[in-house]
Each structure stands twice: as structure tokens, then as C-alpha cells.
Chains A and B, each alone.
Chain A
Amino acid sequence: MKKILTLSGIIISSFAFSQGTLIVNNYSPYELRGLVMADNANNAGNSCFPRAGNNITVPANANMGNGLQLEYTNYRDQFNSSLYPMATWNYAFSATNGSQGVSWNDPVFDPAGPLSTTTRWSTIKFQTFYPGTNNNVIGLIGNLSVANNPCQPLMPWYIDYPSGNYAEMFRIGDITYISLY
């Protein structure tokens, strides 16, 4: 019973924040490097502020299968829980009110604060590289945003590559997934 209570507590508390969790599963043999962004789709009329993001690197074949997926619970707590801790974020509340390279433990990244509660993971602009090199995989590159995101109306939520690779971005409940096959 206690277990169930704890579990439901975890579930309820994770639903309380709109930002939700980001999970990146890289099933491809290439390193994925990209700019991941969260925005406020409810403020599409005003450039989707607030927004936040930064560059991530996910190693080749790093996914839930081997426990090496990238996982960010929120801007702040990811630093101590993720295998790929993000030390700083860039954010903007408006065109004139924002900051670059702000430390993860800055109060602005409080999970209950206005930045966290109004933004959701929505977009990635990525490239791929041969592991351990700076040689990019030609063609395996792209911009993805979840379907029906008014902040990125032109970006696809999936990409079928002629090489047979496949990439997509979608949500299940409060979790946003990015997958590269």
C-alpha cells in the first residue's frame, strides 16, 4: 500500500508541472548533437515566450535499452539526476528579458516557477556525427518539433531518411520523447 501511495505521489507530482520530462532515445550508431528547446505554445501570438534551451550531446546507441538515454526531469533537477547534466540554460521571458548561460541552480529554474510551469519541451535542431569524431553523417540532420506546435509551424514531427534512418518527436502524457533510429 505504501508503495502504491509513493508511486501515485510521484505520478501526481510529475503531472503538476507542465514542463514534463524529456527523454531522448538514440538507437542509431551515430552521436546526436542538437539544440533542444522548450517553449510556451499558449503564447504563440507573442513568439511563444517564455522559451529555454541549450545544446545536448547523446552518444551513439544511448537509449532506454541500455539505460543511457538522456533524461531531463526539469531544468534544475536534471543536473543531479541526468547522465548528461546540463550546467547552464539559456532562457527568455521576452525579446528584451532573457539571459544566456545561466546556472542550473539559479532560482529562475525552480520547477514551480513561471519558466518551468509555462514551457514544455517541444523542439530539437540536430546533427549526427561518427562516434568520437567531428565528422558529421551526411544527410542525417534535421529539425523536429512536436506535431501541431504553433511555435514551430513549419517543422515536421518525424523525418524518414532515404538511408533508412528515422527520427521523431512526440508526447505521451507529460513525457516528451525524441527518438532517432
Chain B
Amino acid sequence: MKKHFLLAAFASLILTSCNNEGSATNTMESMKTPQMENFDKAFKSLGDPQNRPTEEEKRRNTSELSDRRKALLVPASKELILSTGVTENELMRKTGGDMSQIIVWATQIYMKKSDEIRKNIKSEK
């Protein structure tokens, strides 16, 4: 079953890459997985007016992002980590549920994946 999914994913990748040929070349945006997309959106959303620091958060005396704003990043971070094949149990065991560790781990995955995409785009050109 898993194999079929992978095949389908591959086929759609090939199809999209063929579709894009001739028109615009592939971009980072078009090659991102949905989990990467959500992770990126979550980060970008920190700048949305309702997600900017509250009056109380503005007076914080720590360099660390507030828990309220970290919580905005956690669901997408978890999704991204789980998409690599890590199970929920492993995720909890490795991070202890600590929001920072979850976000940092997801960031490393994101950076690695976007690096790979960039290299693929380069080699296609």
C-alpha cells in the first residue's frame, strides 16, 4: 500500500515537473511538500497583526519567543517531523514535548529539505 502511495507521489512529481517544462522552471514554492508549506506559512504568520507580540509580551525580559507565539509554530512543526517517518511516540520521547525542541528539529528538517530541492532545481537547469 505504502509502495503505491510512493509510486503515485513519484508519478505526480514527474507529471508536475513535465508540466512545468517549457513554461516556468520549477521553483522552491512549487516543489515544497504540503508539510513544508504549512511550516513556512506558520513562520510567516508570526508577522500577522494578531500574532505580533501583545503588550505583555513586548515587555518580556527573555530573548526566547513567547509560549503563545511558539504554540503557533508547533502544529506545523509536528506535521513536518512526522512526515519524515518519525512516529508521534518517538517525537515525544526525543523532545519531551518541549516546544522549542520540536520547532528547532522541524526547522532543521525544513532547511535540509529546501536545500535538496534547491540542488534538484539547479541540476535540472
Give the B-binding residues of A (Cβ under 8 A). Answer: 3-4, 7-8, 10-11, 14, 23, 25, 27, 63-68, 71, 122, 146-149, 157-158, 160, 166, 168, 170-177, 179, 181
Find chain B residues with CB under 8 A from A7 CB: 84, 86, 105, 108-109
In the complex, A71→B114 CA distance in Å? Answer: 12
Give B45-72 interface residues, CB cut-off 8 Å to A. 46-47, 52-53, 58, 60-65, 70
Give the size category of B's interface with A. 35 or more
Interface on B for A, CB 8 Å cutoff?
Answer: 27-29, 40-41, 43-44, 46-47, 52-53, 58, 60-65, 70, 73, 84-86, 90, 94, 100-101, 103-105, 107-111, 114-115, 117-118
Residues of A within 8 A of B108 (CB): 7, 10-11, 14
In the complex, given contacts A67-B28, A179-B46, what are 13 additional A-B residue pairs having Cβ atoms less than 8 angstroms apart? A7-B109, A10-B108, A11-B104, A25-B44, A67-B115, A68-B28, A71-B111, A147-B61, A158-B58, A170-B63, A172-B64, A172-B73, A172-B103
For the complex, give the distance between the alpha carbons of A87 and B101 in Å: 31
Q: A22 CB to closest chain B CB, in angstroms?
A: 12
Cα(A157)–Cα(B94), bound, Å = 31
A4 engages B62 (CB within 8 Å) = no
A170 in contact with B27 (CB, 8 Å): no
